[in-house]
Amino acid sequence: DTAVSQTPKYLVTQMGNDKSIKCEQNLGHDTMYWYKQDSKKFLKIMFSYNNKELIINETVPNRFSPKSPDKAHLNLHINSLELGDSAVYFCASSHRGQFNYGYTFGSGTRLTVV
């Protein structure tokens, strides 16, 4: 059973397209996150979200938007894709009341914009 699963694993698309990456967790966590890892391997937080609060990193363009249909899902929608959006995107989850296990990350989605 995969704890945090992301789909697709690889995504190649053209500039200007709109795409979505899905994330699901089966851990019963109440908070989910999206991270971006660029070619220099830096991991940057994009969003964190629970049922009460959405925190957006101020450097994230508004072309990126998280959508959470329920507590187990946090999808990432990207409009008007640009070459610079090429990166690996990681979803993660955690539970506010359980700190012994930290964050659980998915295996990543490698997005390539051509």
Partner 1 sequence: DAKTTQPPSMDCAEGRAANLPCNHSTISGNEYVYWYRQIHSQGPQYIIHGLKNNETNEMASLIITEDRKSSTLILPHATLRDTAVYYCIVRARSSGSARQLTFGSGTQMTVLP
Which residues form the interface with partner 1 (CB under 8 A)? 4, 31, 33, 35, 41-45, 48-50, 53-55, 57, 90, 92, 96-97, 99-108
Give SS3 for 80. coil
Comparison of 14 and 99: residue with beta carbon closer to partner 1: 99
Comparison of 19 and 106: residue with beta carbon closer to partner 1: 106
Give SS3 for 84. helix
Closest CA to 19 of 30, 31, 35, 8: 8
Min dist. Cβ of residue 52 to partner 1 (A): 8
Comparison of 87 and 106: residue with beta carbon closer to partner 1: 106
Min dist. Cβ of residue 109 to partner 1 (A): 10
Min dist. Cβ of residue 83 to partner 1 (A): 22
E strands, 26-86, are: 31-37, 43-50, 54-56, 64-70, 73-78
At 53, give phi and psi (nearest 5°).
-150, 135
Min dist. Cβ of residue 67 to partner 1 (A): 16
Do residues 89 and 108 lie in contact, with contact meaning Cβ atoms separated by under 8 Å?
A: yes
